[in-house]
Structure 1
């Protein structure tokens, strides 16, 4: 299967910021409607093209991993919405589960699934209406896709080219497909 990340439309910073505002709006609406913790899924895709065939593949695999987790742990999905924008694919999923337990499951997916590093799985607590952070669970910050230092440090320093990052992403996908 050919995975491509350059077969979409480039976006600009304004479009990305508007998409983040829309995501927060969708999250608030889901919490108001369903009164349970929510998962907000997005992808870790560098560069200006956020909605490509490769990104869609990663999104579909993330949904499969979450659904498998829900099934394995007897978690009931209350509502699941998928959004496919030019700025990327996202999901908002309300579930019957404590936010802390849900965050532990989601961190496990991010840390242990072969593609988990390419997913951003946020858990928002219905009580505080805040996203639970990895540090609240003594979990290490996420690693850089290329060198395994802290991702935020490499990102801020722009240590790696977009090409290097996509090579690392493609290697993860190839390895996963061989399983």
Structure 2
């Protein structure tokens, strides 16, 4: 994969997110896949993205939000889905994290949220919100959300990555197993329409 092409694709995705936020004056949800290694377009990646997209759409709909526009992208960095969503940005981020943590393919999901002003929200924003809520309720300390877990062990993924704890081959074997599950279930997801 050409590094310049990869950077150009990521910039295009970022600019599309900014454009959607500006056009609709609402938060933007971005879904990509966590696939280690240079090949982000492994067999089953499109099926996984579609199933995770359907889960996010169902969560948005269930919370009273509305997907008002969506864009599907693909390239050397893998498949991506971007959606302008009418709902509170922090509530949207909470839904995205819930899907990442509860869906069978959730570990593959990288669901990011940008507010209507183009500012990214992350898990620390949710931890700060939870701490403020807990302080208002009982003044007690609240732990933030746990960091993303490694594909292979119960440790934080960032720590395993930094320490080089697992080989790329072992990580890809776990990812391919999840993508195989996605391929088996392809076509069973429901659509969300803007």
Class of the TM-score when normalised by the shorter of the 2 chains: 0.7 to 0.9
| Match runs of 1:4-19 below 5 Å | 11-19=1-9
Which of 141, 153, 160 lines up with 1:154 in the alignment?
A: 160
Equivalent residues of 2:112, 2:120 under 8 A apart = yes
| 1:77-126 Cα distance to aligned partner (Å, 9 max, x none) | 11011112232111110011000111111110001111111010001111
Q: Helix, strand or coil: the match of 1:85?
A: coil
Distance in 1 (CA, whole Å) between partners of 2:65 and 2:75 is: 28
> For residues 50 and 171 of structure 1, do their structure 2 counterparts lie closer, same or farther at Cα, with a shift above 3 Å needed?
closer
Gaps spanning 5+ residues in structure 2: where? 127-143, 186-194
> What CA distance in whole angstroms lies between the structure 2 residues aligned with 1:74 and 1:108?
16
Runs of 4+ in 1 over 6 A off after TM superposition: none
Contact 1:135 1:141 in 2 (8 A): no
Superposition TM-score, scaled by structure 1 size? 0.85
Q: What's the CA shift for 1:173?
A: 4.9
Long gaps (5+) in structure 1: 1-10
Tell me what 1:133 maps to: 122
Find the counterpart in structure 2 of residue 120 from structure 1.
110
- Bigger CA radius of gyration: 2
After superposition, the Cα gap between the structure-2 partners of 1:85 and 1:148, relative to the gap in structure 1 and judged at 3 Å, is: same
> RMSD over aligned Cα, in angstroms?
1.9
Specify the alignment match of 1:78 in structure 2: 68
Partners of 2:7 and 2:164 lie apart in 1 by 20
**Residues 12, 48 of structure 1: 8 Å contact kept:** no
Number of aligned positions between the proteins: 167
Query: Could you say what secondary structure the match of 1:86 adopts?
Result: coil
**2 CA distance for matches of 1:85 and 1:172?**
21
Alignment of 1:20-35 (within 5 A): 20-35=10-25
Q: Is the contact between residue 44 and residue 179 of structure 2 (CA under 8 Å) also seen in structure 1?
A: no
Match of 2:27 among 12, 21, 37: 37
Structure 1 position 163 matched with structure 2 position 163: no
Q: Are the aligned partners of 1:30 and 1:38 in contact in 2 as well (CA < 8 Å)?
A: yes
CA distance in 2, matches of 1:12, 1:157: 26
